[in-house]
Amino acid sequence: MAYFYSEPSHTFSEYLLVPGYSSEECIPDNVSLRTPVVKFRKGEEKCPLTMNIPMVSAIMQSVSGERMAIALATEGGISFIYGSQSVESEAAMVARVKKYKAGFVTSDSNLRPDQTLADVLALKEATGHNTMAVTDDGTSGGVLLGIVTGRDYRVTRMGPDTKVSEFMTPFEALVTAHEGITLPECNDLIWEHKLNSLPIIDDEQHLKYFVFRKDYSSNKENPNELLDAEKRYIVGAGINTRDYAERVPALVEAGADVLCIDSSEGFSAWQKLTLAWIREKYGDSVKVGAGNVVDREGFRFLAECGADFVKVGIGGGSICITRETKGIGRGQATALIEVCQARDEYYKETGVYVPVCSDGGIVHDYHITLALAMGADFVMLGRYFSRFDESPTDRLMINGNYVKEYWGEGSNRARNWQRYDLGGGKKLSFEEGVDSYVPYAGSLKDNVSMTLSKVRHTMCNCGALSIPELQQKARLTLVSATSIVEGGAHDVILRDNSKATK
């Protein structure tokens, strides 16, 4: 007869934090969100890799591309470039992040001179960008022939079939700079010539980067940016349990700082084989996380196999239907609590601290604070990051509202069969994820700043100024269905501020 757990598993929404004493020092500006990413031994001076904020982006096609990696590292977190693409393509993405220089932006809004005003408007709708490079082949690395900005055209006075070549600002009229120029020198040119953007070209006039006036102040406002010893952005990458012998060397060569096995269920021989191969070839020099698991046994298995961190969560993602299709999983809060207890037990026994990543089940910002209080060292987010400008998907207008596309790795669109591999045929036997839209939310920076402000304020309510202190002091209470209703707005008629008049 099957084993039955005596208690039901719970989700984050079934818990609340009980406030503790807040001293005079407990103000949000004093809160540190630094957290370890990979394992370390007791007595070591510091963890080999830490983050300045406890947030990483999910290993998903619709979430983690190079723009996301740069934006999140700028804020102090890590993006894991998605692995459901060719080895060459993923390695190239990683390499571009490592080669990226802050303030030097690769153009992702590009046109050919034979395209039309209609194409300009469509590109602006898709990317939200006003500055578009015009190159000979319409790529970001083509020969720069001109640029188009909102000042170059008027929709009311020009036909949609007007050629870009007729209204663009031609190369001869542009102020440009050559590759090798420093960012301060670029900013001097921008201010001297009153420019909004400065194209950077090579000796053959190929476009390399843009430097924007608006980025000048932002370069001064990123005290948390996460950099390696050579002042390059930290970036992660996803791998699978099939082609690791080809993928891992390519990603290491490209400069990936940390890898993670992307799998829906990590308590398996396939992850053991993958970790054993990496340890045999690279020792501990290559950092790699594993998962996902939902209980003590799963954590111990992966920790003993050599994982640098362990991911927790099966079926809790907003686009995941694994629980519906296969009937496996566990409430995220219950799974996280048990795994973190196992992590602490393992640390006491071995002196090795293996960080835990909570993956899935985050619906509201306060769920992040709950996950940290329950023991997570950091959280992995998919839907959250998919809403931002920096995700790789298109921004669309649906029923009068802007949305971003968001699909699961187990959907027919992604067809990431390796993530659900059980050693059978190389195919996705059935869907374990859906194809969807999420409300567009703007820039990553603005949203992450707001989310972390809430986290810091809540930590102060608990009397904690660091994540370890929160885990020591936090007091959690289960809530009833009625108290969940009580916690929101109730028994009032909400005012529609969009229609209200003075």
Catalytic positions are 320, 419
**Reduced to 3 DSSP states, what percent helix, strand and coil does the chain have, rounded to the nearest 5?**
35, 20, 45
In angstroms, what is the C-alpha Rg of the chain? 24
Which residue in 243, 295, 248, 289 sits closest to 267, CA to CA? 295
Distance CA 15, CA 302 (A): 28
Distance CA 299, CA 347 (A): 12
Encoded tokens for 251: 């990603």
Encoded tokens for 440: 């567009």
Distance CA 381, CA 364 (A): 11
Contacts of 89 (CB under 8 A, 6+ apart): none
Asked whether the beta carbons of 17 and 480 are under 8 A apart, the reply is no
Asked whether the beta carbons of 200 and 104 are under 8 A apart, the reply is yes
**DSSP of 115-143:** -BHHHHHHHHHHH--S-EEEESSSSTTSB
Asked whether the beta carbons of 271 and 289 are under 8 A apart, the reply is no
Enumerate helices (H) and strands (E) in the chain, giving the number of each: 16, 24
Distance CA 201, CA 208 (A): 5
Distance CA 358, CA 311 (A): 6
Asked whether the beta carbons of 203 and 178 are under 8 A apart, the reply is yes
| Strand partners of residue 359 | 380
